[in-house]
Structure 1
Amino acid sequence: MIDCFSINKYQSVDENIPYIAMRLYKLIERPISVDKLFEKYSKINRIDLSLNLERLLFLAMTFLFSVGLTGLSDNLVRRIG
């Protein structure tokens, strides 16, 4: 199992949940659906949207929700604060 909260020489920074969360948070300029946010992330970072990437993105979104930086209303993700 990959430890997604620490960085070591065997793991890409793009597999680190807090780093991905930071990049996702910067992409939320206005309310956006999760699907469009993930597509935007993959397009900007030139990464194919795969099952593994979606898993990391969902973990990053869960992290953002848990620390209170994002919220969900009307099926749209938005920044809080």
Structure 2
Amino acid sequence: MNRLIAVLMLLIPGVLSAYGIKLMRDTLFNDFHPIFFHIGIQFVAGFLFFLIGISFIGGFIVYRDRKKQSEKRKNMDQDK
């Protein structure tokens, strides 16, 4: 169950990042979405979506690695 929650936590920011890349690509190829008022705003929104998604995934991985490293240290200290 915990792994399923972790996968879902990474899926949503991954989709957000992919949508950000799509918005930036559409801006470069002049495919304007009417929800945005200006093509520059579309690019900035896509860049922000991309950064938010990637930073969340990166933070999740760093947190997990630090947590596992501290567990390894605790186990090594108990073995001595």
Larger Rg, first or second structure (1 or 2):
2
Please report the TM-score for the alignment, with normalisation by the length of structure 2: 0.31
Point out the structure with the larger helix share. Answer: 2
Point out the structure with the larger strand share. Answer: 1
